[in-house]
Structures are given as C-alpha cells and as structure tokens.
C-alpha cells in the first residue's frame, strides 16, 4: 500500500520537475491544445476548469478574442535598476545582486517564521526579509547572482525588500521587463491571467485582422493591430507600449465615430409621419411668461425636424431650470395638431406625476387629453388607460417604464419624449418606438439636464441632433451657495426658521433613507422625525424617500407643492425635475457623499421663483480634494463648467453611462483626456465616409466587419 503511494508521489514530483525543466516560463506557456483560434472558448485552455471559467465569464471573458481585448489596467516596471545604492525608497524596483551568505530562518511564534538574508553588489547591500517562505533558504545560494523585485524601504543607509520575487539572473528575462497587471476577479490570479494571455497571444495573434487600412495607418503613424495587441500585453519598452495604446485608442474613437455616422445615415432612410400643421399659439397663449430665446430656437429646431417625413432624433440639453418642459409640450402639441399621440417617459413615478400635472396645465387650452400610466396604479386604472390609449382617446401619455409593458398599445404614436435620457437604454427607447406599429418610426426627443461639453456630446450622441438651452428664464437670481461645518448647525436651523417666517419653504436632503444604511450619515426617516419633534415642533415637516409607497410619496410632494409643509426632508428622490418655485433654501447633509453634477441638480430645486435662494452644503470632511470639489460648486452656477470639473475629477465612467446608451464601451480612450486624438479620429472617420460611403472598397472590408460587430445592439447598420 505504502510503496504504491510513494510511487505515485514520486512520479508526481518527477512530472513536476520534468515540466519545469522543459517549460521555461514565458517562451513556452502550458501546451495549448492544437488549433486555438480567436473563437476558441477559454474552457479549452490548459488550466481552465469550470470554476475558473466562471470567474473569467464574470469579467466578460469567454473566448480567446475576449482575452486579447482584455487590456491591462497597469504595468509593473521590472526592468533592471543600475545598483542597490540608487534604489528609490518606497517604490517597487528590480535589482541584480549576489547572495552574500546562507539565509537564516527564525521562528517568531506559532505559524510565523521569518527568513533573512543579505544580497550585495558593488554599491551596497540589500536586506532581504521573507515571511513564512523558508523554502527560499534552499532556493537562494550564496555566491550566486539573482534579480530581486519588490517594494524597497530605506532605513538610513540600509535598503530592504520584504517578500521580493526573484529569479537567477540568467532567467530574469522570463519574468522581468514591463509586466502587465490585469483587473482580477475572485478565483483568478495575476500569474494565471498572464499565462493565459501569453498562450492566447502565441496561438492567435496572427489571426487578428486589422480594421484600419494601411494607408490610414501610415497617415496617422499608427502601428498595426497585431503589433498593438502584442505590445499592450507584453511591451518591450515604454515607447512600445505608448505606440500600442495610441493605436488602439485611435481605433476605438475612429470606429465609434464611423458607426455613429452610419446610424445617422440609416435613420435618414427611415420614414415617419410628418407634422406639417404647427400652431404654437395654443401653447404660448396660456403661458404666464414669454419664451426665452433659447426655448424659441430649440422649438424651431424641433419643429423643422418634425415637418420632415424622416424621424426626428434630437437631444435637448439644458441646465436645471432652463425650461425644457415647455419645449417638450410644444412637440406634443405639434403631434396632436397632426392627429398623432405622444408618449413622455420619466425616470421615476414622482417625476411622471409632476410632468403629467404640468403638461396637463400647459396643454389644457390646446385641448390635449393628458393621462398618466405608472406601475403603482391599480389594475383597473391601468386597464382603463391602456384601453383609452389603444382607442386613440388619449393624446399625451406620461409614464415610467410601465409604458413599455406588453399590454400598452397606441392607436397612432407619432412622438416619444424621454426625460433624463441617460437613465433609459437605447433598447427601451426602441421598444417604445415599436409600439407605433407599421413601418413608421415615431419622432424622438430626448432631454437631459446633465450638461456634457459639446464635443463630447457630439461624439457620444453622434447619431442625435443637438439643441441647447443655454439661457435661464429671466428674473432668476443666482442661488447663493455656502459650505459650512457641523458647528454652524444651530445657526443653520435659525436660518431655516427665518426663511419659513418669510413664507418660503425648505428642502433638507440626506444621503440615506434610514439608519440601517451606512452609519454616520443623516438618514431622511430618523432625521426627519427628530427635526419635527425636537428642533422644529412648531413647523410642518414632511418626509419623502424612495422606499415609501408611490401614493405616500405623491401625497407628501403634493402637500409640499401646495405650501402645506414648511420643511421637506428627503433623499435624492427630489434630485431631478421637482418644481416648487416657493422653495428658497436647499440644505444638503453630508454633502461630500454626492457628486458635483448631482449636487448641482439638487441645488436646481431652488431658485425657481423670484425669491433670493440659498444652498447650504454641510460637510465635516477634511479631505482636501472633497473640500475643493464642494468649493467649486459654491463658486459656480454654470452646469457646463461643473460638468467639466466633475469629469476631470471622477472620470467619464458612469457619468456618460455609455453602457446605457447602447454604444460600444470605450476600453482605453477617455474622451476628455484624449481630445487631440479624438479630433484626429473624427476627421479620419469623416474622410473615410466621404471617399467610400458604404465601405465597400476591398481595403475597408475588415473595418466594415468591425463596425457591424461593435454596433450589433443597434441592428445591422449597413443596409
């Protein structure tokens, strides 16, 4: 029995040693099964069992091609340093040195041993410390040269590395150089991913086709695709890496741009019902104010689109309070005047309610029948509304995602409006559009209060036309913003009282709903009750947050809008759209918890009437970056400037929600950071389209395939 086991163990060791001897790391990775192609599932790779396959899938990695497009998030500089004496303190570095004497292991306590040694070169000595790695005593031989890589610490003249990785000098090339660092998921190690990538690279790098034609590459000094993929994973030098990144970023931006341009072309081939009858007086006659110039221009631009038999696809961008709702109302009116229905999608029930009320008032005189459709209505109410919609007895329906549900059909849907477009996916918009039936596409107006610098907007929403409301209605006094510490709270409460005494109303926004949420921050529920009972027993305090039932929320909001509440304690449910002109003070608790654009949205809830309004940001954060961010908000009321500041500080990421727009994700390029390259790519895309509109030239075939694949979510874009 025993011999049998020993034999097994022996043969196991022999196989391990044998493998080690014949597979010297980098050059010969674990034997790939024959004929790995870009489409080979990763499960067929050596070492990928069900567990690792699942972990890889979590990262979106299923095939060899996915793997090659999985770019490192960073690199370790393991290129050799000159000598020990110049090793930089508190940074990782690689150095070649001789082991000076046998290493010694001592036992600190149970389960904790430390092995120490000394390595030297002609400039000095390096102390080596290994915890729980006593095998290094046998691996490191006195008198021999090794390369050590690790974090360097300096104490006086002594330099030290803890748990460095090392290799005999002759073998360093295999693990040295510039080493990629990949984003990981649980169950995957850096070394495993590196090996997997090396396998994929050596098996199918030469199968990668280059979407960029040679002439274009030459003109823009771009390396080839295969060269770029090799170098981004295994750069030989930093310059090598730089060239690879530039090439791949260019490719991303170029392809995105080309695709968007084709989408626009495709839309121009679609049909829509034109709205030739347009009489705005039915709306303007009932407005208590004059339209701003910007509103007039935006309405004119939309009106011109709507007269055409091709679907409008327009993005209306305007800062909070710029008056986007009136523009939407004008479009709905035009639909009505041409016998069509309009649908207005809002991101929350609260907003749907409010928009329905506003639009009903705005369009009453013109004769539109305006209805609401939201998830929290009773089945009977919903049935009634959907029946009326299908029968054409409703002219404008305002709702949430409920508008997308199956039972909803329109008699003659001609226009779709979405508010806060970044919260709706392209798919959802398409689903709504499909409800118009037949071959006709509805006109689409998307509204956004998230200001995006124009170049970026054009890049991201290149398939949309852009209208800008860059002017606030007159008579608004800018909101005064103050950043205060906790110790001013008593004075703040006095200020709240003063505003209420003047007949005004106050918002107090908290980051959390209830105290089960991360502690230390104000929670609307508890804080609201405390304010009512302890601080403002004589004032009328209401509470609203996302976890309440829809009915409850509406009741509280309605009471606040009617002036029956003095103070409204809430979460960010009031962030977008809520409109109570009498409110003049916005207090934001734990302001450091919010992003700049979000704070700006919240601030936009006040200053909507003629009263001087205030925004008070409470924060005890001492983080200099945070304070800077909050001071930026206090100093400027320009949403576009703030958006740019936010972009710089937080990066584009979810800010743009590219994922939600259904556009391809950018893996490398960051839009705001690569503006020059972006412009170069835009120009190149324009030229490509001018010279070969449908991309039929032989040298454009790979490009055509790439763009079809990138935009597959949008359907076949070349037809």
SS3 34: coil
Select the span of 289-297, 335-343, 384-392, 589-597 touching ligand ADP (CB under 6 A).
Answer: 289-297
Phi, psi for 80 (deg, rounded to 5): -65, 140
∠ CA 310-311-315, rounded to 5°? 135
Select the span of 68-76, 236-244, 531-539, 577-585 touching ligand ADP (CB under 6 A).
Answer: 577-585
User: Does 581 sit near ligand ADP (CB under 6 A)?
Assistant: yes
Nearer to ligand ADP, 311 or 451 (CB): 451
Nearer to ligand ADP, 453 or 581 (CB): 581
Nearer to Mg ion, 311 or 577 (CB): 577
Tokens representing 29 are 């990775």
User: Does 322 sit near ligand ADP (CB under 6 A)?
Assistant: yes
User: Does 323 sit near ligand ADP (CB under 6 A)?
Assistant: yes
Q: What's the min distance (Å) between Cβ of 623 and ligand ADP?
A: 31
Site for ligand ADP in 637-666 (CB under 6 A): none
- Among Mg ion, ligand ADP, none, residue 318 binds (CB under 5-8 Å by kind): ligand ADP
C-alpha distances out from residue 341 to 265, 303, 578, 622, Å: 26, 16, 25, 53
Q: DSSP assignment, residue 271?
A: B
Tokens representing 503 are 């007949």
Nearer to ligand ADP, 18 or 289 (CB): 289
User: Does 177 sit near ligand ADP (CB under 6 A)?
Assistant: no
In this chain, which of 295, 448, 532, 590 binds ligand ADP, going by CB under 6 A?
Answer: 295
CB 369 within 8 A of CB 396: yes
∠ CA 294-297-300, rounded to 5°? 150
CA atoms of 537 and 25, how far apart (whole Å)? 74
According to DSSP, the β-strands at 158-162 and 165-168 are unpaired
In this chain, which of 36, 188, 291, 459 binds ligand ADP, going by CB under 6 A?
Answer: 291
Sheet with 505-509, strands from edge to edge, namely 480-484, 614-618, 583-588, 505-509, 567-570, 541-544
Nearer to ligand ADP, 292 or 436 (CB): 292
> Dihedral sign, CA of 245, 248, 252, 255?
positive
Select the span of 111-119, 283-291, 509-517, 655-663 touching ligand ADP (CB under 6 A).
Answer: 283-291
- Among ligand ADP, Mg ion, none, residue 140 binds (CB under 5-8 Å by kind): none
User: Does 451 sit near ligand ADP (CB under 6 A)?
Assistant: no
Q: What's the min distance (Å) between Cβ of 323 and ligand ADP?
A: 3
Nearer to ligand ADP, 28 or 290 (CB): 290
User: Does 359 sit near ligand ADP (CB under 6 A)?
Assistant: no
CA atoms of 630 and 649, how far apart (whole Å)? 12
Nearer to ligand ADP, 473 or 673 (CB): 473
- What's CA 398's distance to the chain center, in Å? 28
Q: How many helices (H) and strands (E) does the chain have?
A: 25, 22
- Among ligand ADP, Mg ion, none, residue 326 binds (CB under 5-8 Å by kind): ligand ADP
In this chain, which of 194, 246, 247, 324 binds ligand ADP, going by CB under 6 A?
Answer: 324
User: How many residues bind to ligand ADP according to rule CB under 6 A?
Assistant: 19
In this chain, which of 40, 292, 421, 661 binds ligand ADP, going by CB under 6 A?
Answer: 292
In this chain, which of 72, 150, 176, 321 binds ligand ADP, going by CB under 6 A?
Answer: 321
Sheet with 370-373, strands from edge to edge, namely 370-373, 396-399, 341-345, 413-419, 443-448, 313-318, 465-469
- Among ligand ADP, Mg ion, none, residue 669 binds (CB under 5-8 Å by kind): none
| Three-class SS of 75-98 | EEEECECCCHHHCCCCCEEEEEEE
User: Does 320 sit near ligand ADP (CB under 6 A)?
Assistant: yes
Q: What's the min distance (Å) between Cβ of 561 and ligand ADP?
A: 11
User: Does 347 sit near Mg ion (CB under 5 A)?
Assistant: no
Q: What's the min distance (Å) between Cβ of 318 and ligand ADP?
A: 5
User: Does 467 sit near ligand ADP (CB under 6 A)?
Assistant: no
Q: What is the DSSP string of 292-329?
A: PHHHHHHHHHHHHHHTSSS--EEEEEE-TTS-HHHHHH
- The residues, any chain, with a CB within 8 Å of residue 520's CB and separated by 6 or more, are none
C-alpha distances out from residue 322 to 9, 235, 291, 362, Å: 77, 50, 11, 16
In this chain, which of 13, 18, 131, 289 binds ligand ADP, going by CB under 6 A?
Answer: 289
Q: Binding pattern to Mg ion, positions 560-579, x when CB under 5 A?
A: -----------------x--
Binding-site ranges for ligand ADP (CB under 6 A): 289-292, 295, 318, 320-326, 449, 473, 577, 579, 581, 608
Residues that bind Mg ion (CB under 5 A): 577
């Amino acid at each position: 029995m025993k011999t049998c086991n020993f034999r097994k163990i022996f043969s196991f060791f022999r196989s391990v040693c044998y493998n080690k001897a014949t597979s010297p790391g980098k050059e010969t990775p674990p034997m790939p099964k024959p004929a790995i192609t870009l489409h080979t599932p990763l499960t067929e790779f050596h070492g990928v069992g069900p567990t690792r396959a699942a972990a890889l899938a979590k990262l979106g990695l299923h095939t060899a091609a996915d793997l090659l497009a999985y770019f490192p998030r960073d690199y370790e500089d393991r290129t050799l340093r000159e000598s020990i004496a110049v090793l930089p303190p508190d940074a990782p570095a690689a150095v070649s040195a001789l082991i000076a004497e046998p290493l010694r292991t001592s036992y600190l306590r149970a389960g904790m041993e430390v092995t120490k040694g000394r390595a030297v070169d002609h400039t000095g000595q390096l102390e080596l410390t290994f915890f729980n790695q006593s095998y290094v005593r046998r691996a490191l031989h006195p008198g021999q040269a090794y390369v050590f890589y690790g974090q360097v610490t300096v104490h006086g003249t002594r330099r030290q590395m803890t748990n460095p990785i090392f290799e005999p000098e002759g073998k360093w090339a295999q693990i040295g150089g510039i080493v990629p660092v990949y984003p990981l998921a649980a169950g995957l190690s850096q070394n495993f991913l590196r090996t997997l990538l090396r396998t994929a690279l050596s098996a199918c790098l030469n199968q990668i086709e280059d979407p960029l034609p040679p002439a274009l590459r030459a003109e823009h000094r771009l390396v080839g695709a295969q060269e770029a993929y090799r170098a981004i994973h295994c750069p030989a030098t930093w310059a090598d890496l730089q060239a690879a990144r530039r090439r791949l970023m260019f490719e991303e931006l170029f392809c995105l741009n080309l695709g968007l341009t084709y989408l626009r072309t495709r839309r121009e081939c679609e049909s829509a019902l034109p709205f030739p009858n347009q009489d705005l007086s039915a709306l303007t006659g009932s407005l208590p104010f004059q339209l701003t110039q910007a509103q007039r221009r935006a309405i004119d631009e939309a009106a011109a689109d709507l007269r055409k038999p091709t679907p409008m696809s327009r993005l209306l961008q305007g800062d909070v309070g710029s008056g986007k709702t009136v523009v939407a109302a004008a479009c709905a009116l035009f639909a009505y005047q041409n016998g069509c229905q309009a649908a207005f999608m809002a991101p929350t029930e609260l907003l749907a309610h409010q928009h329905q009320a506003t639009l009903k008032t705005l369009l009453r005189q013109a004769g539109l029948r305006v209805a609401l459709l939201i998830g929290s209505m009773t089945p009977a109410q919903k049935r009634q509304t959907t029946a009326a919609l299908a029968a054409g007895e409703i002219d404008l329906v305002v709702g949430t995602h409920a508008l997308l549900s199956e039972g909803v059909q329109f008699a003659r849907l001609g226009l779709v409006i979405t508010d806060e477009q970044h919260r709706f996916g392209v798919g959802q918009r398409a689903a709504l559009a499909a409800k118009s039936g037949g071959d006709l596409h509805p006109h689409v107006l998307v509204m956004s209060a998230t200001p995006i610098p124009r170049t970026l907007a054009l890049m991201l929403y290149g398939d949309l036309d852009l209208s800008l409301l860059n002017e606030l209605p007159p008579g608004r006094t800018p909101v005064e913003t103050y950043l205060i510490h906790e110790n001013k709270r008593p004075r703040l409460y006095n200020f709240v009282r003063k505003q209420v005494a003047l007949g005004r109303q106050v918002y107090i926004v908290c980051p959390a709903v209830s105290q089960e949420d991360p502690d230390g921050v104000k929670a609307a529920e508890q804080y609201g009750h405390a304010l009512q009972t302890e601080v403002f027993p004589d004032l009328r305090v209401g509470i609203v947050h996302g976890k309440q039932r829809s009915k409850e929320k509406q009741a509280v909001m309605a009471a606040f809008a009617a002036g029956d509440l003095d103070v409204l304690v809430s979460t960010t449910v009031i962030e977008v759209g809520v409109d109570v002109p009498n409110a003049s003070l916005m207090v934001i608790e734990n302001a450091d918890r919010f992003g700049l654009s979000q704070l700006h949205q919240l601030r936009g809830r006040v200053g909507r009437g003629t009263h001087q309004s205030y925004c008070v940001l409470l924060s005890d954060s001492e983080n200099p970056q945070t304070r800077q961010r909050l001071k930026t908000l206090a100093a400027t009321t320009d949403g576009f400037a703030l958006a740019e500041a936010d972009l710089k500080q937080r990066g584009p990421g979810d800010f743009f929600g590219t994922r939600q727009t259904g556009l391809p994700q950018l893996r490398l390029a960051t839009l705001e950071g690569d503006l020059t390259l972006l412009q170069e790519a835009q120009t190149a895309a324009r030229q490509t389209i001018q010279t070969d509109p449908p991309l039929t030239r032989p040298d454009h075939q790979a490009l055509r395939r790439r763009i079809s694949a990138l935009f597959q979510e949008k359907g076949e874009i070349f037809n």
